Amino acid sequence: MSANTFGNIFRVTTFGESHGPAMGCVIDGCPSGLELSVTDIETDLKRRRPSREYGSRDENDIPEILSGIYEGKTLGSPIAIIVRNINQKSSDYNELKDIYRPGHADYTWEKKYGIRDHRGGGRSSGRETLCRVAAGAVAKKLLSLHGITIKAHSEKNIDIEKLSGTEDSAGGIISCLITGVPTGLGEPVFDKLDARLASAILSIGACKGIEFGAGFAAAEMPGSVNNDEPDISGGGKFATNNCGGILGGISSGQDIIFRAVFKPTPSIKKPQKAYDKDGNIKEISINGRHDVCIVPRAVPVVEAMAALVLADFLLLSRSSKI
């Protein structure tokens, strides 16, 4: 399997399966001298943990830094971080070993590789995102030194009590605001900043779409409205931000704004039709411990992926001019 590494200079490789001994990441290209502790990583991992409101698992994910740090600072060498899996219940998936769950990667994964880990989805599990969040925490620490902040939030509150009674699930939209980004980040033509951000966010398993600035609403605007006019105060400021802070694939100095849509959790108790490995149609009801909505937990994942992109481009920009 390829494509487990993300980034060009600030490079992150994630590893592990959801029901294996551990999951983790290796970060290569992080500059030396960055102050970093387990607490920096643990803070965002706690935000990714399921709450009692949205799920029943108790994932007390404790990160361990294995390399790349000395006396609280990065060495410039690879940083290895692991989180041990201690709360799996693999038996919950026994009855699904030969059935492809609707809305999951079970079918496509097995057709591509000829084998799959049915226990929680293995590598395709949403638990893989903890590796991204751990790496993203390091990237965010680096970006903070340059005045760049990333804040995402869910656009709506889900009525969990009402939803639980339906044995169904819900999706939602996450908005992200990135401030302090200097002008000039992005590498046209095929490595534009918005293209890389879109790729990063869409690589999150449950994400199905993304828009920047005015997004799809721009299709209904005349050019005279969609174009961002200068603010009367001058100074390179603009009165609107329909471009979402990116022009021609390069950061404009305005806030970067994007929205991403996440599908409903596919593992639900409500009876569904599904194929088994022999092509027979079965009716299944998926039990076990599953979130009725993953959107709140995806918020730090969105921030992490945005941070990884920006950290990579920030380091790359150092070589853009003589």
pLDDT digits (tens, 9 = 90+) for 237-251: 899 999 999 999 999
pLDDT at residue 94 is higher than 60: yes
Poorest-pLDDT segment among 20-34, 251-265, 308-322? 308-322
Half-sphere exposure of 290 (CA within 13 A, CB side): 24
Report the C-alpha gap between 176 and 164 in whole angstroms. Answer: 28
Look at residue 97 in the predicted model and tell me its pLDDT. 87
Look at the alpha carbons of 102, 208, 295, 42 in this order and tell me if their dihedral is positive or negative. positive
Report the C-alpha gap between 170 and 263 in whole angstroms. Answer: 7
Determine, yes or no, domain membership for 158: yes
Angle at 68 between CA 66 and CA 71, to 5 degrees: 95
Average pLDDT estimate for 272-287: 93
The more confidently predicted of residues 129 and 119 is 129
Q: Residue 90: which pLDDT band, with cuts at 50, 70 and 90?
A: low
Look at residue 318 in the predicted model and tell me its pLDDT. 82
Domain that holds residue 277: 5-317
CATH number of the structural domain spanning residue 204: 3.60.150.10
Determine, yes or no, domain membership for 145: yes
Determine, yes or no, domain membership for 22: yes
Average pLDDT estimate for 282-300: 89
Rounded to the nearest integer, the mean pLDDT of the chain is 92
Average pLDDT estimate for 81-99: 82
Look at residue 1 in the predicted model and tell me its pLDDT. 66
CB contact at 8 A, 4 and 15: yes
pTM attached to this predicted model: 0.94
What is the share, in percent, of the chain residues with pLDDT greater than 70? 94
Tokens 């694939």 belong to residue = 249
Q: Residue 11: which pLDDT band, with cuts at 50, 70 and 90?
A: very high
Determine, yes or no, domain membership for 322: no
Average pLDDT estimate for 189-207: 97
Q: How many domains, in total, are found in the chain?
A: 1
DSSP reduced 3-state for 176: strand
Look at residue 237 in the predicted model and tell me its pLDDT. 86
Look at residue 53 in the predicted model and tell me its pLDDT. 56
Look at residue 4 in the predicted model and tell me its pLDDT. 96
Determine, yes or no, domain membership for 271: yes
Look at residue 171 in the predicted model and tell me its pLDDT. 95
Average pLDDT estimate for 270-289: 91
Q: Phi/psi of residue 170, each to 5°?
A: -140, 155
pLDDT at residue 166 is higher than 70: yes
The more confidently predicted of residues 53 and 136 is 136
